[in-house]
Amino acid sequence: MAERQEQAAPDAVLTRIGQVVMLHHGGDREEARSRFLHLWAEVGEDGDPLHRCTLAHYLADTQDDPADELAWDLRALSAAEEIAGGHVDADPASVRGFFPSLHLNLAADYAKLGRAEAARSHLRRARSAAHCLTDDGYGAGVRTEISRLALRLGEDGTPGDEGWGAGQRP
């Protein structure tokens, strides 16, 4: 019984991450970045990969420098790949739905940095992974952003007139 209650109890770190996400969405980017970094220090480089993935994903959103945004998005992808690869004691299926968004964000990061080939590569990966998205608002939103970024990259893979600015994410 105690084991069932433990499984049903909310994850305190994910709850705290969600609270900071609300702060960020409320417009306090600097405070959100500070709190995310504090959480990152608590979780650590070797902490739970789901926590690292989630934190790094949201930390990327608070960055001003596209190179810093890319670094956090790469950390998020690496942590998700640990789980998906079965390298930790977690269900690999639990992160399957993350990959379209993770690759989409990396594609946008690379586009901002003028690295068109890398952007196209991650855009292809986002499209390929999108089959696992559900037909809900989240899935529709990610698919829409994949299409928008594809249009922005153009057929030759170079950013169009509407390039991504700092802090803008699909």
pLDDT tens column, 84-139: 987 777 777 778 889 999 999 999 999 999 999 999 999 999 999 999 999 999 99
Distance of CA 119 to the CA centre of its chain: 15
* Cα gap 106→121, rounded to integer Å: 9
Residues 6+ away with beta carbon under 8 Å from 169: 60, 61, 69, 105, 108
Model's pTM, two decimal places? Answer: 0.82
Report pLDDT digits (tens) over 6-51.
444 568 999 999 999 999 999 999 999 999 999 999 999 999 999 9
pLDDT tens digits along 68-89: 999 999 999 999 999 998 777 7
